[in-house]
Amino acid sequence: MSSDVRIPVLQVSSEIYPVLKTGGLADVCGALPDALARAGCDVRVLLPGFPAVLEAFSHRREVATFSLPWGEQAVVRCGHLAGVSCGRGTVMAYVIDVPGLFDRPGNPYLDAQRRPYADNHRRFAALAWAGAHLAAGIDPQWSPAVLHAHDWHAALAPALLKLWGPAAQRGVSSLYTVHNLAYQGVFDSFHLRELGLPEEAFRVEGLEFHGRISYMKAGLYYADHITTVSPTYAREIQTAEQGCGLDGLLRSRRDRLTGVLNGLDPKVWDPASDALIGSNYDAANMQGKARCKLALQRELGLERASRAPLFVMVSRLTEQKGVNLLLEAVPEILRQGGQLAVLGSGDTELEQALQRDASANPGRVAATLGYDEALAHRLFAAGDVTLVPSRFEPCGLTQLYGLRYGSLPLVHAVGGLADTVVDTDLATLEDQTATGCAFHAFTGSALQQAVRRAFALYRRPRDWSRVRQTAMCQRFDWDQAGEHYANLYQRLLAHD
């Protein structure tokens, strides 16, 4: 960015690594503040006062209190958030503290029975209202020029910036990033009043979606600019097939829609310095990786076979992630002499099916159910192949971790997976651009075919290690994405 003036930007999200994470959204929101600071922005974040967030929050100052439209009182505090770096220190964070809404143990979105909380419409409207109040100048010490909202949880904020007078008068610009169009935050229309939304917003040219209130649509319709997390996904969501009913709106706003590819945070994901793996290694010295593989085989009760290709998958276990396809491919992986280790949590049926496979194939298949950040690192370090057979994938981060850790990604060529992995064929082997394996049809047989190709490559050790070298040298870092966002903010401020 050329200008010397640092643009004040407020990032609004429901998760942030390492404080609170259920998926890639947290990784992205945790890495962005520092990347944006390097790109010349004055970044602060706004988060809901979940217990984990309050625990990481220090040196708080009470900024203000305001009433939510349904009468509950909200306190906005400002302080530092431990663990999230930004420039030379930790990021400055605003937290909206409403214990009745956010002080609940466990998952930020789901109750103990994994059902969405019945008051999620209020919980995430509260987050957006806090963003709107900050945009309206509730903090005399700092206010944003750009509000950058992430996913449906923050998506009412760009709408309030247009619809709510005190914020609208300040002319704060908004950018809305879609991390996954499939999760939309759709609620009954009778909540409109209670959420403080004007009747005029409830129409097709607004946030109405099939007679209901759509937070996702609010973000897409009212934000000054929309981004999503890869160029291919930006195109895909403009089609009826992948547009989740919003492709028409996205097509009409295509001049205001940009794909900005996510990065990888090398402070967290680098096999040369990763403190969560047993032996460090890099592209020039791979012995540590072999040790990591043996250690993981021991840990998970897999046969200690250094030559058996180890396929790993770290994922939410949902239909999106292609778990059914993987289940179909397990016999092929085993027939060819491979091993499989999966770490994930999600749909009960998928969890049970993976557990059945593990019980039926002791020493060959391991399924660890639950969420385990450190084990995820050990899996990428130990793996030979990282499976990402997603039906759709806005960006995907585990294929980037697989590349960096030399666990070659095997992916369905969609969304960000298509943008980050180069399939291995004779031409890409020869010009040394190959970094993994990709398949195109979303079918069990296409995945199995790709699995066979991965084995064929593995049996050619020279080619295998060459592809692995290329993979490990790829740099999907945040600097590029940070610059890209900073340029978009600048365009917004110039009303371009």
Residues 341-400 that bind ligand GLC (CB under 6 A): 393-397
Binding range to ligand ADP, per CB under 6 A, among 205-213, 249-257, 325-333, 393-401: 393-401
Q: Which range, of 47-55, 191-199, 367-375, 470-478, touches ligand ADP by CB under 6 A? A: 367-375
Q: Is 341 a residue that touches ligand ADP (CB under 6 A)?
A: no
Measured CA to CA, the distance from residue 370 to residue 345 in angstroms comes to 5
Query: Binding to ligand GLC (CB under 6 A): which residues in 7-26?
Result: 23-25
Contact flag: residue 249 with ligand GLC (CB under 6 A): no
Per CB under 6 A, 345 contacts ligand ADP = yes
Distance CA 129, CA 33 (A): 22
372 interface partner picked from ligand ADP, ligand GLC, none, CB below 5 to 8 A per type: ligand ADP
Residue 95 in contact with residue 47, Cβ under 8 Å? yes
- Other beta carbons within 10 angstroms of residue 388's beta carbon come to 28
> Quick one: which of 247, 328, 347, 372 contacts ligand ADP (CB under 6 A)?
372
Query: From the CB of 247, what's the least distance to ligand ADP, in Å?
Result: 20
* Cβ(203)–Cβ(217) below 8 Å: no
Look-up of token digits 């850790």: 405
In the complex with ligand ADP, the residue whose CB is nearer, 56 or 395, is 395
Q: Interacting stretch for ligand ADP, rule CB under 6 A, among 20-28, 188-196, 246-254, 284-292?
A: 20-28
Binding site partner of 371, from ligand ADP, ligand GLC, none, Cβ cut-off 5-8 A by kind: ligand ADP
Stretch of 21-29, 102-110, 120-128, 144-152 contacting ligand ADP, by CB under 6 A:
21-29
Q: Is 23 in the site for ligand ADP (CB under 6 A)?
A: yes
Cβ-closest position to ligand GLC: 24
The nearest distance, CB 17 to ligand ADP, in angstroms, is 8
d(CA 1, CA 10): 18
Q: Is 418 in the site for ligand ADP (CB under 6 A)?
A: no
Q: Please choose which of ligand ADP, ligand GLC, none residue 229 contacts, taking the beta carbon within 5 to 8 angstroms, the exact cut-off set by kind.
A: ligand GLC
Answer for which of 157, 167, 229, 388 binds ligand GLC (CB under 6 A) is 229
- Candidate list 316, 452, 453, 466; residue touching ligand ADP; CB under 6 A: 316
Between the CA of residue 85 and those of 43, 61, 82, 483, what are the distances in Å?
Answer: 11, 19, 8, 17
Q: Which of ligand GLC, ligand ADP, none does residue 314 bind (CB under 5 to 8 Å by kind)?
A: ligand ADP
Q: What's phi and psi for 78, nearest 5 deg?
A: -130, 140
List Cβ neighbours of 478 (8 Å cut-off, separation of 6 or more): 31, 32, 34, 35, 263, 264, 265
27 binds ligand ADP (CB under 6 A): yes
Residues 6 or more apart from 66 whose CB is under 8 A from it?
73, 74, 76, 129, 130, 133, 138
Q: Smallest distance, Å, CB 394 to ligand GLC?
A: 4
Which three-class secondary structure state does DSSP give residue 43?
Answer: strand
Q: Shortest distance, CB of residue 138 to ligand GLC, whole angstroms?
A: 29
- Residue 261 token pair: 């590819």
Q: Which of 174, 177, 315, 448 binds ligand ADP (CB under 6 A)?
A: 315
Cα distances (Å, whole numbers) of residue 320 to 240, 270, 323, 345, 368: 17, 27, 8, 13, 19
The residue range among 45-53, 77-85, 168-176, 309-317 that interacts with ligand ADP, by the rule CB under 6 A, is 309-317
> How many CA atoms lie less than 13 Å away from 70 in the CB half-sphere?
15
Nearer to ligand GLC, 258 or 448 (CB): 258
DSSP SS3 for 293: helix
> Are 38 and 479 in contact, with CB atoms under 8 Å apart?
yes
Binds ligand ADP (CB under 6 A): choice among 314, 403, 438, 488:
314
Q: Which stretch binds ligand ADP (CB under 6 A): 112-120, 201-209, 288-296, 310-318?
A: 310-318
Exposed, middle or buried, 362 (CB in 10 Å: 0-12/13-18/19+)?
A: exposed
Shortest CB 299 distance to ligand ADP, Å: 15
Cα–Cα distance, 52 to 214 (Å, whole number)? 28
Cα separation, 201 vs 207, whole angstroms = 6
Distances (CA, A) of 103 to 47, 53, 109, 124: 13, 10, 12, 14
Quick check: 409 and 436 in contact, CB under 8 A?
A: yes
Could you give the count of Cα atoms lying within 13 Å of 214 in the half-sphere of its Cβ? 24
Q: Which of 180, 238, 399, 420 binds ligand GLC (CB under 6 A)?
A: 180
Q: Which is nearer to ligand GLC, 29 or 147 (CB)?
A: 29
Binding site for ligand ADP (CB under 6 A): 23-25, 27, 314-316, 343-345, 371-373, 376, 395-398
Binding site for ligand GLC (CB under 6 A): 23-25, 28, 179-180, 229, 262, 393-397, 416
